[in-house]
Amino acid sequence: MILPSTSKVNKNGHLEIGGCDLALLAANYGTPLFVYDEDTLRGQCRLYKNSFLGLKSNSEVIYASKAFVCLGICQLVNNEGLSIDVSSAGELYTALEAGFSPDKIYFHGNNKTDEELALAVDNKVGIIVVDSFMELSRLKELLNNRGVKQKIYLRITPGIKASTHEYIQTGQEDSKFGFSLGGAATLAVKKALENNCFNLSGLHAHIGSQIFATRSFSKAVEVIMEFAKTLNEKTGFVMRELDIGGGLGIKYHADDEPSTVEEYAKVISKAVTKQANRLNLQEPKILVEPGRSIVGTAGVTLYTVGTIKEIKGIRTFVSVDGGMSDNLRPMLYDAKYEALLANKAKAKASQKVTIAGKHCESGDVLIKDAMLPEVEMGDILCTPATGAYGYVMANNYNRQRKPAVVIVKDGQVKELIARESLEDLIRLDKRLKA
């Protein structure tokens, strides 16, 4: 199983994480319930920092908040010394409210609104990663109106098609993100250098998510460094900082073989040094933006089993009290997960079932052909490795209430996000007047 580092089976045969019995957590907080292990989460933050700083003192780890963001998680990664990247006014506001120093915030997005750009500039955000010519022009006007200067990166699409699901590939030329290499990117650099309101200090590239092959990252470094060499010769631009994005994959099920954080750090660091020496360039500061690989395996989701439907000779459906409203990835990306029964953690898996959600969609299926012990109504089903892109993509389809989120450590439980109430569902509704 792919579980947090503190996981164990207790004397009652129940799964424990962070010293907390998951069956009791489900009883106390209700289900669906997201449970995060604080030790695993902090451990990943420290592993990233130590891996990169151990190889390159001039490096920085930036948490990609889109993987999972709330006040408590922002406070935790800030406490661990990481910076943070945001891609909306909501993520930016949350990071600021959590106490992040603005100079440790990196603002992304392919379609930042005027409101979002103003919010970033007015709060003195450290870096705005500019994604298009239109954004460059709008940001210039905003900065000139305020009489201030802004540090920026330009997002480059290096033309690398990473080996991952097509929906989470972002580095190929046919992408909504960034400036294509060659004419567009070169022109963007020239425009940024021509305007005193910009401090163009680096380039950014992100080739996709859930990537196992580290050669994809070394190839991206090679392409960007060669481009930096060309830029230097044509414009005099010196790339002082290289943000290579995130994208390192995690283990979702037994067959997955992702690279380790240490391997990832070694590959990127060696590639930067190698290309800088080969091209006779100043070695830039290295920045990376992990998200999934920090929070993914730190979190699990708990459900209560409801209806069990056996179709003789075809399959057995085990329905749970959540589904596509709390984990949309199987429906979007055909993502694969494993499962176990938290209240029967010692029992032998003897039954092949399909775990279905409760929503009015035939496609609302979390796991096909999961192997479980004999399942009964009321059992607590646990899906590991749901710490990333679970709650942040949660929705209210069928007016399902969004789950609670808790974090556990040494037998103690802290609530990160409260469960929505029925009243919350209509809080923003307006009644029609007679």
C-alpha angle with apex 174: 161 to 132, nearest 5 degrees?
A: 115
Report d(CA 211, CA 62) in Å as an integer.
Answer: 18
Which residues lie closer than 8 Å to 84 by C-beta, 6 or more apart? Answer: 62, 63, 65, 74, 77, 78, 95, 100, 104, 105, 106
Between the alpha carbon of residue 134 and those of residues 110, 129, 140, 205, 405, the distances in Å are 10, 13, 10, 19, 39
Which residue type occupies 257? E
Q: Is the distance from CB of 82 to CB of 63 less than 8 angstroms?
A: yes
Report the distance separating Cα 345 and Cα 144, nearest Å.
Answer: 62
Of the candidates 20, 45, 70, 360, the residue annotated as catalytic is 360
Strands 299-311 and 33-37: antiparallel
Residue 189 to residues 136, 156, 201, 398, Cα–Cα distance (Å): 10, 10, 10, 47
- Give the rounded distance of the alpha carbon of 212 from its chain centre: 15
Distances (CA, A) of 384 to 175, 209, 213, 238, 357: 31, 19, 23, 44, 16
Q: Alpha-carbon distance 141 to 195, whole Å?
A: 11
d(C-alpha 394, C-alpha 327), whole Å: 7
Sign of the alpha-carbon torsion through 76, 77, 78, 81: positive
Nearest to 33 by CA among 425, 383, 393: 383
Contacts of 283 (CB under 8 A, 6+ apart): 58, 272, 273, 276
Do 172 and 178 meet the contact criterion of CB atoms below 8 Å apart? no
Whether the Cβ atoms of residue 84 and residue 338 lie closer than 8 Å to each other: no
Query: Does the annotation mark 74 as catalytic?
Result: no
Backbone angles phi, psi at 34, to 5 degrees: -90, 130
**Positions marked catalytic:** 360
